[in-house]
């Protein structure tokens, strides 16, 4: 003998109210778990930043007022002077990145630093800016207010070929080789073990700043 119950409106609304009372807090708890994980990760990063020692500016600030007493001397004294600067990597067994660098920059002058890819041109600029402390030598500037247009382009994660071809499956070999030539990447690809199949990594970390800039300039134009 089966017992059949009738679901009336009072029972239905009561059951729905009980389910809402139970599921709403449970859904909130489930949604709070990733938020709590993100909050803890952010707190760890903030704590790691706060416990770091304050960045010390190792540059020497030369006062230009001492040269005003002698006419013409302020034009001869360099506004930026790098003397026998050596920079070592703090993570790669103190590998020498720059050695014995000497540089003088005068007021109203144009100075160009050229060199091979990864030779340390951007590193030298950061030393002059005071972002990186040299292990040897000194940097003397007449003003601590120096502007730097840093090379920080955005690149997707993929190979060099994928980035140039916009991840297209169809490759026009002629247009592709022309793009590589326009971006001045042909010599760089010859030095890479995997050539244009080299993974550039997140934000192009596997490439030098100059290579990233040339690659992103072509992507922006195309």
Q: Please check whether residue 75 is in contact with residue 106, taking contact to mean a CB–CB distance below 8 angstroms.
A: yes
pLDDT tens per residue, range 142-185: 887 787 776 666 777 777 777 777 777 777 778 878 877 777 77
Q: How confident is the model at residue 125 (pLDDT cuts 50, 70, 90)?
A: confident
Four-CA torsion 66, 68, 70, 72, nearest 10 degrees? 120
- Residue 106 CA to residue 144 CA, distance in Å, equals 15
Q: How many CA atoms lie within 13 A of 29 on its CB side?
A: 5
pTM given for the model: 0.49
Q: How confident is the model at residue 19 (pLDDT cuts 50, 70, 90)?
A: confident
CATH superfamily label, 60-141: P-loop containing nucleotide triphosphate hydrolases (3.40.50.300)
pLDDT tens per residue, range 204-219: 666 777 777 767 655 5
Angle between helices 209-221 and 121-129 (to 10 degrees): 100
Query: In the chain, where are the structural domains located?
Result: 10-52, 60-141, 160-221
- Residue 58 CA to residue 142 CA, distance in Å, equals 14
**Least confident residue range of 10-19, 46-55, 63-72, 84-93:** 63-72
């Amino acid at each position: 003998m089966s017992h059949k119950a009738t679901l009336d409106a009072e029972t239905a609304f009561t059951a729905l109210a009980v389910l809402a009372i139970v599921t709403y807090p449970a859904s909130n708890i489930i949604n709070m778990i990733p938020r709590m994980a993100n909050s803890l990760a952010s707190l760890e990063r903030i704590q790691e930043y706060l416990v770091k020692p304050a960045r010390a500016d190792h540059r020497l600030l030369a006062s230009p007022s001492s040269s005003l007493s002698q006419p013409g001397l302020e034009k001869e004294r360099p506004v930026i002077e790098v003397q026998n600067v050596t920079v070592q990597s703090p993570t790669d067994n103190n590998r020498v990145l720059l050695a014995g660098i000497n540089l003088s920059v005068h007021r109203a002058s144009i100075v160009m630093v050229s060199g091979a890819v990864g030779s340390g041109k951007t590193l030298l600029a950061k030393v002059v800016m005071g972002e990186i402390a040299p292990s040897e030598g000194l940097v003397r500037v007449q003003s601590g207010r120096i502007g730097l247009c840093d090379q920080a382009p955005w690149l997707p994660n993929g190979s060099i070929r994928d980035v140039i071809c916009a991840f297209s499956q169809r490759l026009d070999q002629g247009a592709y080789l022309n793009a590589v030539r326009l971006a001045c990447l042909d010599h760089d690809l010859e030095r890479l073990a995997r050539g244009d199949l080299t993974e550039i990594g997140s934000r192009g970390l596997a490439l030098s700043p100059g290579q990233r800039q040339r690659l992103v300039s072509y992507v922006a134009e195309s």
